[in-house]
Amino acid sequence: MKNHVFRSTCAIAVSVDLLGDKWSLLILRDMLLHRKSTFKEFSNSKEKIATNILTNKLQFLMQSGFIEKLDPNGTKKSTRYIATRKGVCVLPLIIELYLLSIDSLDESVFNASQLAIKAEIKANRGLFESGRREKYIAFLEELQAELKKQKSLS
């Protein structure tokens, strides 16, 4: 992001400027942990982001280099958003925020899936992170193969 003016040169301040808003980390969470890639999938997330805000956040994340857009058929329905290498590097931050939350709240507020993730992270955080990264890479490979197949059929 060459034209963006940051409030300071402090690395933490720059990171907060890039990812500290209400939605960017949730969009990246949905990509990296839940393998969502379409506008509709993001807008259907439980946090219920407004479509105009989602459009702006996706654009900002693309301009910042965290995600890229795949548009195989040139239509809104075929558009997919995927995390770049820079976007995948946010995974440890997402995990740390998850740990902060699950360590601060009473377990009664979590569902079975969240408790299973907590146990998995607590058992071996490094393995959890590398496993999630590998699953996302496998998802990208499947997505690219699917898009290539669609292109060859059209």
Query: What is the pTM assigned to this prediction?
Result: 0.85
Provide the CA 98 distance to its chain's centre, in angstroms. 13
Sorted by sequence, the CB contacts under 8 Å of residue 75 that are 6+ apart come out as none
Kindly indicate the confidence band of residue 83, based on its pLDDT and cuts at 50, 70 and 90.
very high
pLDDT value at position 130? 96
The CA-CA-CA angle for residues 12, 87, 40, to 5°, reads: 120
Q: What is the pLDDT of residues 138-151, one digit of tens each?
A: 999 998 888 778 77
pLDDT value at position 43? 95
Q: What is the pLDDT of residues 30-55, one digit of tens each?
A: 999 999 999 999 999 999 999 999 99
Beta carbons of 97 and 64 less than 8 angstroms apart:
no
